[in-house]
Chains A and B, each alone.
Chain A
């Protein structure tokens, strides 16, 4: 399989030299294949969101490299990058500008990509509906949405320009299981339609969901990858002690 993203020996230290110094990532390496869906599970605080934020250049690693289709991420302008990579953030409410209506936020990437006003409006309405909201949510402000509605708006925003890489950081954690099922079906349909043209990193605490949706999975603990492999294989026959404990804890 051709790789779209190659992450090599990422280290990330926060607040170096201060009392609250913390090593968030220790030599994290993995790659994402074209058309692949890669799950990341693991301990709270193990560095999953940090990986996502480095790959989207919201954060710089202390060292290590990320290559997107063979180019160093640092050599790609953010504007170009966000035409290729989009992310659904872990805390949906905070990820929206509180002063902008939902429709404006969802449309932002479309405007940058040169859509006309009427095309944009139609696309936004369709996206909101695909994510289980009605098109009139475009007129609301973020604080006027429930937690799960805001999360669905965030998914709509990330899908707007049909990115090559979609990063979902706990993207369904505020959804009830029936809505979650619909969102997963939507993502499945996009994968079927786009084939190799969409690759997904799916960070989640829901191990059953990861098993149902992801091809491969990475398990993280304390800033390190402790296990990586075919999802079913890892979940059915975990080798690492932490992975075993994690899987045994599911309620």
Chain B
């Protein structure tokens, strides 16, 4: 397994505030890395940085993000368009706001796919239906005919997962991809992401507050607090035998069903 994405000493500020500092990690082809940690600790910032989506208020003050040997920082708009989608797929923390509010879901998905791949309408329809089925939809036609605001929170999120997966990216950056799903559909989404990894050797970075989800998916876990890496290691070790105080506190706070 060779390395596909590397964060080298990354520090990022918003104005005078440092959001993340000295972030170094890498991920291999076909590997799944979970990122967990405190709300506001910089998880979304870290994954947006690779996509060039930080916005004008942010500044990467040191370090580099490398896809194989190519820096992903300071790319031209044109280069970014070629990379975002087919190489790096993103599932946004709030899927609803990543869609255009006045255009139907189906048209938006078709357009996004066509911008990167030479597909006919029929090929699109087959692929999108396959994915919608996998994510537990039973009324695909209505979903594609709807405007984003006509879908429930969890439905929007599932459409966001579909949008990222349509292009079959080499690396999937998933920011809280299951937070609005009921547990039955969450399980299906987790299975689908694992299937994609097993079939296409996709690398996945999954940010989640759900320890059950990282446990089911990740090979390794990175724990973040106050913009710094607290601890990084094999999933089993981090969950069952964490070394840092913060990780222990985090694992102890996980609510569990009493049967």
Stretch at the interface among B64-72, B124-132, B176-184, B231-239: B176-184
- Interface segment among B75-83, B196-204, B205-213: the answer is B205-213
B37 within 8 A of A: yes
Bound CA span A178–B150, Å: 33
Please name all residues of chain B whose beta carbon is closer than 8 Å to the beta carbon of A144 when the two chains form the complex: 14, 57
**Are the C-beta atoms of A94 and B94 separated by less than 8 Å?**
yes
Kindly state whether residue A229 has any CB partner on chain B within 8 Å.
no
Count how many chain B residues have C-beta atoms less than 8 Å from C-beta atoms of the other chain: 54
A174, B176: Cβ atoms closer than 8 Å: yes
> When A180-B253, A208-B256 are in contact, do A49 and B183 touch as well, CB less than 8 Å?
no
Q: Determine if A177 is an interface residue (Cβ-Cβ < 8 Å).
A: yes
B215 within 8 A of A: yes
Query: Does A187 touch B at the CB level, under 8 Å?
Result: no
A-B contact count (CB 8 A): 143
**Chain A contacts of B141 at CB under 8 A?**
19
Interface residues of B in 20-42 (CB under 8 A from A): 36-40
**Are A251 and B190 in touch, CB under 8 angstroms?**
yes
- Shortest beta-carbon distance, B206 to chain A, in Å? 13
Complex Cα–Cα for A231 and B14 (A)? 44
Evaluate contact between B93 and A174: CB separation under 8 angstroms: yes
Q: Note all chain A residues with C-beta closer than 8 A to B253.
A: 177-178, 180-181
B38 near A174 with CB under 8 A, answer no
Given A147-B176, A246-B183, A249-B184, do A20 and B152 touch, yes or no (CB 8 Å)?
no
| CA distance in complex: A178, B44 (Å) | 18
Give the Cβ gap from A53 to chain B, nearest Cβ, in Å. Answer: 11
Q: What 0/1 pattern do residues 87 to 119 of B give for CB contact below 8 A with A?
A: 000000110110000000000000000000000
How many angstroms from the CA of A250 to the CA of B181 in the assembled complex? Answer: 11
Chain A: minimal CB distance from B33 (Å): 17
Within the complex, what minimum Cβ distance (angstroms) separates B148 from chain A? 11
CA A43 to CA B43, docked complex, whole Å: 28
| Beta-carbon contact of A22 and B142 below 8 Å | yes
Q: Which residues of A contact B176 (CB under 8 A)?
A: 147, 174
Residue of A whose beta carbon sits closest to that of B253: A177
The closest CB in chain B to the CB of A141 belongs to B57
Would you call B94 and A91 a contact (CB within 8 A)? yes
Task: Report the Cα distance A54→B121, complex, angstroms.
Answer: 39
